[in-house]
A and B are shown apart, each in its own frame.
Chain A
């Protein structure tokens, strides 16, 4: 597609349920990032995929969070046993130059509300 696509755009779930958020990066981009945007917290790095290398998971806040990237393209962020503090906008971005010198292209985000 023309840009980074994320789905769903909005998700309301009950505490304790699992959720999956999907990201479809720009075709040909080798790097893919997940960030979390909470009110007053800025953008919090979660996880980074670059080609076939092992992902950088250093930002995942707990073992309830996991992500995978299949075939070097689409990525899914999974949150198990959701908690109210997981409510946030989850942003996906992709890049063609590993982000070090290149530009990150962001999707419009998936807004998660945990009741």
Chain B
């Protein structure tokens, strides 16, 4: 079975500081990887995804993530955060081969950006 672990439940950071949100996954088969963001009182939206190719993936709002197969990680980074980045961030995996296509999500990381 697949699982996703987000190592930090809460990450407080000051505005314009860099941030890294950590995600590790476990799977016996190859997976696709995703980061979703949920702004306060809104639905989830896709931030970025890794399907194949370059292990460094760029997403919306200046975020990027790097797939590290040997460490089974897909950490999310941003060099300089804004107040508006305050949200909950979810890492997710899905199986490449036909297993239903569902996403398995981590428990989320609450990013709080302070002025």
Contacts and interface: CB of A to CB of B under 8 A. Distances in A.
Interface of A: 4, 31, 33, 35, 40-45, 48, 50, 56, 59, 91, 93, 95, 98-101, 103-104, 106-109
What size tier do the contact residues of chain B reach?
A: 20 to 34
Given A42-B107, A42-B108, A101-B32, A48 B102 contact: yes
A108 B42 contact: yes
B103 A99 contact: yes
Nearest to A6: B43
B104 A100 contact: no
10 contacts: A42-B108, A43-B90, A43-B92, A44-B105, A48-B101, A95-B101, A98-B101, A99-B103, A100-B98, A104-B103
B46 A104 contact: yes
Contacts of A93: 44
B101 A100 contact: yes
Contacts of B95: 100
B83 interface: no
Interface of B: 6, 9, 32, 36, 41-46, 49, 51, 90, 92, 94-96, 98, 100-108
Contact of B105 (A43, A99, A107): A43
Most chain A CB atoms below 10 A, which of B42, B43, B51, B102: B102
A107 B45 CA distance: 10
B92 to A, nearest CB: 8
B43 A108 contact: yes
A103 B46 contact: yes
A99 B42 contact: no
A106 B34 CA distance: 14
A69 to B, nearest CB: 15
B104 A99 contact: no
Contacts of A109: 43
Contact of A100 (B9, B94, B106, B108): B94
Given A56-B100, A100-B32, A42 B43 contact: no
Contact of A91 (B9, B44, B101, B107): B44
